[in-house]
Amino acid sequence: MFQGKKFAGWLAAAALVGMTASAPALAQTTLKMAYALSENSHYGAGAAAFAKALEASTPDFKIQQFPNSALGGEREVIEGLQLGTIDLAIVSTGATLNFVPQTGVFDIPFLFRDLAHARKVLDGKIGQDMLAEFPKRGLVALAWGEQGFRHLTNNVRPVKEPADIKGLKIRTTENPIHIAAFKELGVLATPMAWPEVATALQQGTIDGQENPLSVIVSVKMWQLQKYLSLTAHVYGPALILMAPSVYDGLDDAGKAKFKEAAAAGAKAMRAYVDQVEKDGIETLKSNGMQVNTVDHAAFVKAVQPVYPQYYKQFGQELVDAIRNTQ
């Protein structure tokens, strides 16, 4: 009997030690954050700034980054957020269009004058109202990040005016807003998930692709493409998204910390874009890419026939409100 009591006491003590030892591990939750590009990209800069800000404000969470599409393409990642298998992500609006169709308005070609114009719209009522649409689709949008203006690369010829782009087979995002404009220009638009692009370029199944300088530089596109044409045809926003399964379990103070971390991530992405706009072209030239400017006004005129389609889809009032933001 004495031995039984002694053993029971030992078990209780062991359990107490075990609980005490495991308490710190249980107190901190590791969250998975996915994005399509490398850590040495604007997405990586945003993720790093997010993680640093969050971990500085609360000991409860640690961010584990999954760059380079390690958890799947952007569509799969967004579905993972809805399911709760992924906690956080940085994605393009090319992917969110399939979930929150209204975000496609920001992808209308030649809608924004410059980076300052785009940031004013996203930081203002129009952009913030758009973030509020995401919970209706099983997603939480914490902040607008940035990619910058999209430009064209290819291996066939320099593109300086609309006639030069006709007949080129160009990879696009799975974004009908972009595709409609490219088709109007005579491009053989080829929607393709980002992880497949490098192989397709190497094999020659596509002639080129289009992306912001932040992407073109970070993926070392000079290894795959010869010509860069500074078309600036579409502004590329990015979004910092979160799984409702995590966000909804937070109190108001916890939610505020995640939004503050997202704001830090967005600021870092914009800073990265500003820097690459300054030195990215020289980096590409020094690595052998041929870079040229384009007849911007001619391209703007060439896509005007598509605008009635955009008005019908998003409302001319919204399109004009974006265009006229000062």
Instruction: Count Cβ atoms below 10 Å from residue 193 Cβ, excluding itself.
Output: 17
| 62-86 confidence digits (pLDDT tens) | 999 999 999 999 999 999 999 999 9
Q: What is the pTM of this model?
A: 0.82
In order, the DSSP letters of 80-147 are HHHHTS--EEEEEHHHHTTTSGGGGGGGSTT--SSHHHHHHHHHSHHHHHHHTTGGGGT-EEEEEEEE
Query: Which pLDDT belongs to residue 1?
Result: 44
**C-alpha pair distances (Å), 313 with each of 18, 125, 130, 210, 287:** 60, 20, 15, 24, 41
Quick: pLDDT tens for 123-169: 999 999 999 999 999 999 999 999 999 999 999 999 999 999 999 99
Residue 20 has pLDDT above 50, yes or no: no
Q: What is the pLDDT of residue 260?
A: 98
H or E element in which residue 157 lies:
none
Q: Decide if pLDDT at 218 tops 90.
A: no
Strand partners, 293: 230
Q: Which residue has the higher pLDDT, 218 or 166?
A: 166
Residues found in the chain: 326
pLDDT score for 174: 78
Q: Which H/E stretch holds residue 9?
A: helix 2-27
Structure tokens at 89: 């992500």
Least confident of 15-24, 107-116, 185-194: 15-24
Q: 172 phi and psi, to 5 degrees? A: -120, 170
pLDDT tens string 296-322: 999 999 999 999 999 999 999 999 999
C-alpha distances in angstroms, 223 versus 84, 213, 230, 274?
Answer: 37, 15, 18, 23
